[in-house]
Chain A
Amino acid sequence: MLAQEFMRNALVAGSFVGIACGLVGWFVVLRAQVFAGDALSHVAFTGALAAAALGIDIRAGLFLATILGGVVMGALGDRARADDVVIGTLFAWTLGLGVLFLTIFTTNGSGSNGTAGVRVLFGSIFGLSSTDVRISVVLAVAAVAVLAVLGRPLLFASLDGAVAAAQGVPVRMIGLVFLGLVGLVAAQATQAVGALLLLGLLAAPAGAAHRLTGRPSLGLGLSALFALVSVWLGLSLSYVFPTLPPSTMIISTAAGIYVAAMSLSPLRRLVG
């Protein structure tokens, strides 16, 4: 399995994407911002298709759109926690724009008609080039670094925003930066599992970790571990059974872990 270059690329990129998603996802779930992550994943779709329609590099559109989307959502919402109606209306429109770009792209574009949309929606982890891999490694490391710096105040602000603000923590600013970070990770995960499925990597491992433990350090570790296991197991399954698409297998594994954690959650009292 490891002899194939596309498989090595997929594993390396997938691992880094998984770790970043697991760590950022833990905070997303803690802050009850899964819906914002959902919206950002759709922004990713529109951004990528806009880039495709304009004929520029898809990655540029992807990252620009999601990071911008995160910041806009943070700015519009109350106390940098966008409320779900604002998110909902904003991204319903974003999807409409995405459809427009898809139409422009498929009517003007040549060659790869139609498949670009599907690739963006459902990912193409087996089609990553070594440049893609390098980019995703660098971005994952950057995201984790930002999170490491931001970690303590972010945790404080997430658990008790009012007290944190009273203590002089810039709660609003942190919320904005965090949503931008979620956007970055979403764009990166779009390349691996696709815009529609990245929510699974963001929400399921983190949700499972939250069900098992309330301790932040342990939870973060578990979340990253679960995401990593999902990627590895999903990729292996898809390699062994080529008819099964890799992104589906990754998400199914993550969902399986979540269900397992749910049935184990009485254990939580023992772990702490």
Chain B
Amino acid sequence: MPTSSVFTGLSWNPATDVHALFTYPFMQHALAAGTIVAVMAGVIGWFMVLRRQTFAGHTLSLTAFTGASAAVLAGVPIVLGYFAVCGLGALALAGASGPRRSQGTESAATGSIQAFALGLGFLFVSLYHGVLNGLDSLLFGTFLGITSSQVLVLLVVAAVAIALVAVAARPLLFASVDPDVARASGVRVQLLGLGFLLVLGLSVAETSQITGALLVFALLVTPAATAQRLTTRPLAGVVLSVALALLVTWLGLALAYFSVYPVGFYITSLSFALYVLARVLR
């Protein structure tokens, strides 16, 4: 892991340590990117947990790996692969689900899509020789070496995703809480479902660039689940979810900076600890 190369040790002087965090450009970029991703994951994740679509979210996050490996093999920018394949994955998932399908069949379809996408990803990786180190960072992410143009792309995509959800927030909430009643009162539930999956794909594609395909999930699901344990009010829940996601991301990045262990481990452990705490309290 490249993390060890920036290990500088802790001076135990808060002022110098916090100062050290912001000294290097790569760390500034990492913090900026982490903040953008955390805000978006907090918002989108809250709706995902509400709609009980964690399995779909996880599947999309794994298709991000396929997208990245396909892009590496084809020699196009990785970002392109992320977005294209996550979009395709969202469409496939929407096609597999439907009001008439039973839960079991639907989850079987999701599982098949996921395994197939991962299989393809592995195929691409093995066709592209000598990428073993890259494989680890595709799957588990790296917060090092984020460029300022990447931060800009992240910012734009996050703004678009959050804006889309904000515009559709009311009907989406309605359709998520009670789809039957929503359909009866003229909300286009199916269209909203498709749209949400696409936005989810978009945000997953973006998040996986920082956290890796396997760990997107930690930012999407755990803060949102914690927030929903603590409050049932929508607005407070979304705000809390964003706040928790930000907290674990910042702490995780700072801890990873001062130690040899990967950022993914810290982010997942911190958010899981908060979830357990919330479960104990409530």
- A positions within 8 Å CB-CB of B: 29-35, 37-38, 42, 84-85, 87-93, 95-100, 102-103, 106-107, 114-115, 117-118, 121-122, 194, 196-204, 206-207, 210-211, 243-245, 247-248, 250-252, 254-255, 258, 262
CB proximity of B172 to chain A, nearest CB, Å? 18
Contact between chains at B120 and A248 (CB < 8 Å): yes
CB proximity of A39 to chain B, nearest CB, Å? 9
Contact between chains at B112 and A204 (CB < 8 Å): yes
Q: Which of B4, B52, B123, B260 is close to A245, meaning CB atoms less than 8 Å apart?
A: B123
0/1 string, B102-140, CB within 8 A of A gives 1 = 111101111111111011101100110000110110011
Q: Which residue of A lies closest to B59 (CB)?
A: A38
Q: Which of A99, A121, A203 is close to B108, meaning CB atoms less than 8 Å apart?
A: A203
Q: Which of A42, A97, A243, A254 is close to B115, meaning CB atoms less than 8 Å apart?
A: A254
Q: Which residues of A contact B119 (CB under 8 A)?
A: 197, 200, 247-248, 250-252, 255
Q: Which residues of B contact A84 (CB under 8 A)?
A: 52, 54-55
User: How far is it, in angstroms, between the C-alpha of A121 and the C-alpha of B126 when the chains are bound?
Assistant: 13
Select the stretch in B24-32, B173-181, B213-221 that faces chain A: B213-221
Question: Considering the complex of A and B, which 7 residue pairs feature the smallest CB-CB distances, nearest first?
Answer: A96-B268, A200-B115, A207-B108, A203-B111, A93-B272, A251-B119, A34-B107
User: How far is it, in angstroms, between the C-alpha of A211 and the C-alpha of B102 when the chains are bound?
Assistant: 10
Q: Which residues of B contact A96 (CB under 8 A)?
A: 215, 218, 264-269, 272
Q: Which of A32, A91, A198, A252 is close to B116, meaning CB atoms less than 8 Å apart?
A: A252
Say whether B1 faces chain A, with CB atoms less than 8 Å apart: yes
Contact between chains at A204 and B115 (CB < 8 Å): yes
Q: Which residue of B lies closest to A30 (CB)?
A: B104
User: How far is it, in angstroms, between the C-alpha of A207 and the C-alpha of B272 when the chains are bound?
Assistant: 32
Q: Which residues of A contact B122 (CB under 8 A)?
A: 122, 194, 196-197, 245, 247-248
Say whether B225 faces chain A, with CB atoms less than 8 Å apart: yes
Contact between chains at B268 and A207 (CB < 8 Å): no
0/1 string, B223-242, CB within 8 A of A gives 1 = 00110100000000000000
CB proximity of B182 to chain A, nearest CB, Å? 21
Q: A95-B215, A197-B118, A254-B112 are in contact. List 11 more A-B contacts (CB 8 A).
A: A29-B108, A84-B55, A88-B221, A89-B222, A89-B275, A92-B217, A92-B272, A103-B1, A115-B132, A203-B107, A245-B126
Say whether B271 faces chain A, with CB atoms less than 8 Å apart: yes
Could you name 24 residue pairs across A and B whose Cβ atoms are closer than 8 Å?
A: A30-B104, A32-B103, A35-B58, A35-B107, A85-B225, A87-B54, A89-B275, A91-B217, A92-B218, A92-B221, A93-B272, A95-B215, A96-B272, A99-B214, A103-B262, A107-B4, A115-B132, A197-B118, A200-B114, A200-B115, A201-B115, A206-B108, A254-B112, A254-B115
* Number of B residues, CB within 8 Å of A: 57
Say whether B261 faces chain A, with CB atoms less than 8 Å apart: yes
Contact between chains at A200 and B111 (CB < 8 Å): yes
CB proximity of B70 to chain A, nearest CB, Å? 13
Contact between chains at B54 and A85 (CB < 8 Å): yes
Q: A92-B221, A96-B215, A96-B264 in contact; A199/B52 too (CB < 8 A)?
A: no
Q: Which residues of B contact A97 (CB under 8 A)?
A: 265, 268-269
Q: A31-B104, A85-B221 in contact; A99/B52 too (CB < 8 A)?
A: no
CB proximity of A113 to chain B, nearest CB, Å? 9
CB proximity of A35 to chain B, nearest CB, Å? 4
Q: A85-B221, A88-B225 in contact; A118/B135 too (CB < 8 A)?
A: yes
Q: Which residue of B lies closest to A31 (CB)?
A: B104
User: How far is it, in angstroms, between the C-alpha of A254 and the C-alpha of B112 when the chains are bound?
Assistant: 8
CB proximity of A73 to chain B, nearest CB, Å? 13
Q: Which of B102, B126, B136, B269 is close to A117, meaning CB atoms less than 8 Å apart?
A: B136
User: How far is it, in angstroms, between the C-alpha of A198 and the C-alpha of B55 when the chains are bound?
Assistant: 16
Q: Which of A114, A121, A254 is close to B133, meaning CB atoms less than 8 Å apart?
A: A114
User: How far is it, in angstroms, between the C-alpha of A97 and the C-alpha of B108 when the chains are bound?
Assistant: 27
CB proximity of B99 to chain A, nearest CB, Å? 16
User: How far is it, in angstroms, between the C-alpha of A120 and the C-alpha of B264 when the chains are bound?
Assistant: 19
Q: Which of A114, A197, A203 is close to B132, meaning CB atoms less than 8 Å apart?
A: A114
Say whether B68 faces chain A, with CB atoms less than 8 Å apart: no
